[in-house]
Every structure is written in C-alpha cells, then in structure tokens.
C-alpha cells in the first residue's frame, strides 16, 4: 500500500502501542499455527462441525494465498476486496468492516 502520510501515521500509532517483541512473537505464532500440518485438518473439523468459515482477502494479496480448492468450495463466503492488499482494514476500513459485519450477521 502506498506510504501516504495518513497510512504512515496509522502504522506508527499501531506500532507505538506494543513493543517490537510482541509483534515478532505474534508473527511467529501465526506462522507456527498456520504452517503446522494439523492446521488444515483443524479447518476441516471446524467446517464439518457446521461452523461457517469466511475467507476475506485484499485483491493484491489474494493471488499469493495457498488456499486449497476444497476450502474455497466449503467456505460460507469468499470475498476479495478490490484495490486492497494485506491491510484491507487500513486501505478500505468501511468496506472491510461492512464485509465482516455482513458475514457475521448471515450466520
């Protein structure tokens, strides 16, 4: 996303509210959880239980996803927000929030 003054100010605000060690720990935890072979099996179990799974991506980052076809087919919704990347909530906060709220209200 472009380094506009507004985007840089928001990023600084987000980063100023936590130490770098917290950000690194969070990143490690996400990679460890989603990189584990059991992750996809856990998703299968959630889907089998009837819990709706909603996939939400920014258009610029969706192609880099490694989402299995079975997961895309099983998802209750798969929404790609145009003109956004990984930080959809910053680039188009209203569209992101509306999408999340719509998905939650539908299930």
For residue 64, tell me if it sits in a domain.
yes
Per-residue pLDDT reduced to its tens digit, 33-87:
888 889 999 999 999 999 999 999 999 998 878 889 999 999 999 999 999 998 8
56 lies in the same domain as 19: no
Task: Give the DSSP H/E element, type plus range, for residue 90.
Answer: helix 88-91
pTM of the predicted structure, to 2 decimals? 0.78
65 lies in the same domain as 24: no
Helix (H, G, I), strand (E, B) or coil at 84: coil
Residue 38 to residue 48: CA distance in whole angstroms: 15
Per the structure, the complete domain to which residue 92 belongs is given by 51-107
58 lies in the same domain as 99: yes
For residue 40, tell me if it sits in a domain.
no
Residue 106 to residue 52: CA distance in whole angstroms: 10
For residue 73, tell me if it sits in a domain.
yes
Number of Cβ within 10 Å of residue 84's Cβ equals: 21
């Amino acid at each position: 996303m472009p380094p506009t003054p507004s985007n840089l100010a928001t990023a600084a605000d987000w980063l100023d509210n936590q130490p770098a060690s917290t950000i690194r720990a969070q990143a490690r935890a996400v990679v460890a959880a989603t990189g584990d072979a059991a992750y996809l099996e856990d998703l299968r179990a959630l889907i089998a239980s009837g819990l709706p799974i909603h996939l939400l991506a920014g258009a610029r980052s969706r192609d880099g996803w490694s989402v299995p076809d079975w997961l895309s087919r099983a998802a209750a919704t798969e929404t790609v927000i145009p003109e956004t990347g990984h930080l959809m909530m910053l680039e188009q906060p209203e569209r992101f929030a509306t999408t999340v709220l719509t998905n939650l209200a539908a299930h």
